[in-house]
Amino acid sequence: MSSVELSLSAAAELARAVAVELAGEDAVGAHEEVRQEDDHAATHYFTAHQPGYCGWRWAITLAQIGPGEPITVSETVLLPGPDALVAPVWVPWQERVRAGDLGVGDLLPSRPDDERLVPGYLASDDPAVEEVSREVGLGRPKVLSRCGRMEAADRWLDGDRGPLSDMARAAPGTCGSCGFYLPLAGSMSAAFGVCANEFAPADGAVVHAEYGCGAHSDVEVDIGPVAPVAEVVYDDGIELEARPS
């Protein structure tokens, strides 16, 4: 360690005096540590007793341009320590909204750079979108992009109405073979549809073709006996012995 670094590290009393001048004697606590910023600067940290700043520290940065030169104060600031109470990282409101947050009368505009949507005048790789555009003549201003469809497919696949859910594992059959299954149009038709059975738990919801429940259209009532009937055995209690020859 150079003489300048040693001089800066030993200047804790000077750094404390600066902190006291800035915040007052009662607001400056014990010296916690010193960090060397470079060959000519070091920062001293003191516990802060500032009301409302639990775990924060006073940081006083000192500098010296060379051996024998006076030590100067470069910066004084109140910084959060390792265990400080700080505000959570700010997240834009568009990213804070979650499924189910939208209520009656609420508005949720899509972001201008939303990669899930593309302008409707662009050619789509989804036949269903192209068919609607031709029928209407002008088409919708925005349509789902490939990214948007893939995100939706992954979400539905891993959701409560996907093939790995507990309901699907216990079902007697899959939605793809059920008469109440209405396949979606376009590129989603191979894997997803809507349940149209009012008595099913997924009625009116998007389901995976490999999802299933106990309301499958091919489920039949078992009219056999509840318990198996044991074979009738008659025992008259007579023991037969072989006749001697």
CA quadruple 17, 21, 26, 27: dihedral, nearest 10? -100
Quote the tokens at residue 39.
Answer: 């060959």
pTM of the model: 0.49
Beta bridge partners of 72: 63
pLDDT the model gives residue 6? 77
For residue 13, what are the CA distances in angstroms to 23, 31, 34, 163, 238?
15, 9, 12, 68, 113
Task: For 155-182, write each residue's pLDDT tens digit.
Answer: 999 999 999 999 999 889 999 999 999 9
Q: Residue 150: CA atoms inside 13 Å, Cβ hemisphere, count?
A: 5
Task: Flag residues of the chain having pLDDT under 50.
Answer: 135-137
Res 137: pLDDT: 44
**Vertex 133, ends 120 and 189: CA angle to 5°?**
95
Q: Which pLDDT value is given to residue 130?
A: 62
pLDDT the model gives residue 187: 83
